Chains A and B, each alone.
Chain A
Amino acid sequence: MSIAAEHLTHIYNPGQPQEQAALQDVNFRIEDGEFVGIIGHTGSGKSTLVQHLNGLLKPSSGSIFIGDTDIAKAGVSMLQIRRKIGLVFQYPEYQLFEETVEKDIAFGPRNLGLSEDEIWERVKEAIGRVGLDYEKVRAVSPFELSGGQKRRVAIAGVIAMRPEILILDEPTAGLNPKAHKDILDMVCGIHADTGNITFLVSHNMNDIARLCDRVLVMDHGRLVMNGSPEEVFSRGEELAKIGLALPDAMEITERLKKAGLPVQGGCLTMEAAADSIAEALESSGAAGTGEDL
């Protein structure tokens, strides 16, 4: 399964004074098993793009291919498409509504018309996948859980649909550092186990650099970069112009480089930055690595 956009354009309020092009001629192709980051300033078109990927919005022109099917065409069964594509909105825990965790997670699969056995098997599996204890949480009200747990339950509701393409819009917003890491580890675990395509919309460049195979950069409705994290983050000046920052590790090494330390650039993680700074210090003999100060 692959997903591709061809000349994708979306115009809000066409023909009216408030007419606004939210997406303009966006083209990309994502293959099976890729982990894709989407970054861009607020208002750059990220959310509009994501809502096209599962057919919530229809393009004004252009196509979106899921496998060989152009979902922008009339007569395509959106039910079939939405079965394949799971979208986790920002703050998904606001969408919890059922009396118990298991009922909430069962809501999606039940709407697919699955058998009872199949529904409960999926619920159990989804709860496990998001790292919760099935026996402990199944009969609990989702509203009595902690913020991080609520979010897991909300994501489980999407996972239970077994989507081949999983889209997450800022899944860690508002979480403490550990819950943040747990949620992303969980997303990576699901990606590794199922080989799905995962889209991660995020403002956190550290996460994007660490996790993604490919990064799509949006600006004013246009796709302005499409490449590996190494490629995209090597264009720091262009990113700064469109209001985006570098990962912390690169930000710091770039600053040291400008200040005259012969440090290797392109460090996406703090570990890599520390290695390359330590190496540069050793070879330049500054801030001695051997002698006591």
Chain B
Amino acid sequence: MQAYIEAQNLTFDYIKQDGDVVRAIDDISFCVEKGSFTAIIGQNGSGKSTLAKNINVLLTPTSGKLLVDGMDTSDPENLWEVRRRVAMVFQNPDNQIVSSIVEDDIAFGPENLGVDPAEIRSRVDFALDAVEMREYRLKAPHMLSGGQKQRIAIAGAVAMQPECIVFDEPTAMLDPKGRREVLDVIRRLNDRGITTILITHFMEEAFGADHVIVLDRGVIRMDGSPEEIFSDPDRLKELSLDVPAEVELIRLLRERGVRLPDQIRTAAELERFICQ
């Protein structure tokens, strides 16, 4: 087990126009393992996006430390090395697409790094395949569906050959089909070893992660496996969150006196148990 991202007493303050200080992240510490899939959940305004921007060095800590692959993000010397390792994908694909042709858009990042043209070509092809959009490479992004556009935005991140991608609510604006497509792509990238951080309001998306961090008003309230986190629905509701539908059903069944073994936690396990 190797920590890829490590926060040590990380604190971040925003200074408002009138000079007031708003503490968005308040003295948090956590580790993300290399190659893992970590979901960050929490209500609007809990500090999730601020944390994401700290990981990508769009922001640097007010106090405390954030280490990415052992590098301190507060040290300006490390800025480009950290950004090279950590890519970011935002909520709205329309705000992330810069070019009028899909493959040009994906090439934008590596071009800015001054990568050799032949190398750019191979990176773009690799990225197109990774998000299963090769057949759309010459299309105009604005003619694509929301899910397809978001996959192009992800391909743009992949072409930077990052070791880690931070996804900030990448499915919030998509319909159910687009959400599935994008999540499939995210899972496949994680399978290839990319350390994945997914910020989401969809509990079922977090349920599929290796590790879940629950933020509330800038503080980590829960940190553990999805099984641990989602076994406490009352606590989650206090934090304005919820449990995935299947977890809720299993709880309701137990409440109705149905005796299910403790290890049953998902709909698939329930199905196997009931129908054995």
Give the contact stretch, choosing among A64-72, A156-164, A176-184: A176-184
Contacts of A259 in B (CB 8 A): 271, 274-275
Which of B146, B242, B258 touches A277 (beta carbons < 8 Å)? B258
Instruction: Identify the closest chain A residue to B171 (Cβ).
Output: A174
Residue A21 at the B interface, CB < 8 A?
no
Residue A132 at the B interface, CB < 8 A?
no
Residue A248 at the B interface, CB < 8 A?
yes
Contact of A179 with B43 in the complex, beta carbons under 8 Å: yes
Total interface residues on B, using CB and 8 Å? 39
A255 and B44 in contact, given A177-B241, A270-B248 (Cβ under 8 angstroms):
no
Contact of B43 with A176 in the complex, beta carbons under 8 Å: yes
Q: What interface size band does chain A fall in?
A: 35 or more
Residue B192 at the A interface, CB < 8 A?
no
Contact of A175 with B259 in the complex, beta carbons under 8 Å: no
Residue A20 at the B interface, CB < 8 A?
no
Query: In the complex the two chains form, what is the Cα distance from A291 to B42 in whole Å?
Result: 40
Contact of B256 with A252 in the complex, beta carbons under 8 Å: no
Contacts of A270 in B (CB 8 A): 245, 248-249, 252
Query: In the complex the two chains form, what is the Cα distance from A175 to B240 in whole Å?
Result: 10
Interface set, chain B 190-204, CB cutoff 8 A to A: 201, 203
Contact of B240 with A177 in the complex, beta carbons under 8 Å: yes
Contacts of A288 in B (CB 8 A): 259
Query: In the complex the two chains form, what is the Cα distance from A190 to B215 in whole Å?
Result: 32
Contact of B240 with A176 in the complex, beta carbons under 8 Å: yes
- The smallest C-beta distance from B103 to any residue of chain A, in angstroms, reads 24
Contacts of B175 in A (CB 8 A): 41-42, 203
Contacts of A41 in B (CB 8 A): 175, 177
Contact of A289 with B258 in the complex, beta carbons under 8 Å: yes
Query: In the complex the two chains form, what is the Cα distance from A289 to B267 in whole Å?
Result: 19
A147 and B44 in contact, given A173-B172, A206-B245, A277-B253 (Cβ under 8 angstroms):
yes
Contact of B43 with A178 in the complex, beta carbons under 8 Å: yes
| 0/1 interface trace, chain B 228-272, chain A, CB 8 Å (1 if under) | 000000000100111001101100110111111100000100010
| 0/1 interface trace, chain A 132-153, chain B, CB 8 Å (1 if under) | 0000000000001011100000
Residue B80 at the A interface, CB < 8 A?
no
Contact of A174 with B91 in the complex, beta carbons under 8 Å: yes
Which of B16, B257, B275 touches A256 (beta carbons < 8 Å)? B275
B residues contacting A by CB (< 8 A) are 16, 42-45, 91, 145-146, 169, 172-173, 175-178, 201, 203, 237, 240-242, 245-246, 248-249, 252-253, 255-261, 267, 271, 273-275
29 cross-chain CB contacts under 8 A: A42-B177, A42-B178, A43-B145, A174-B169, A174-B201, A176-B43, A176-B201, A176-B241, A177-B201, A177-B240, A177-B241, A177-B242, A179-B43, A179-B240, A249-B245, A252-B245, A252-B246, A259-B274, A271-B252, A273-B249, A277-B249, A278-B253, A278-B258, A281-B258, A281-B274, A286-B274, A287-B258, A287-B274, A288-B259
6 nearest CB pairs, A to B: A178-B240, A274-B252, A248-B245, A147-B44, A177-B242, A259-B275
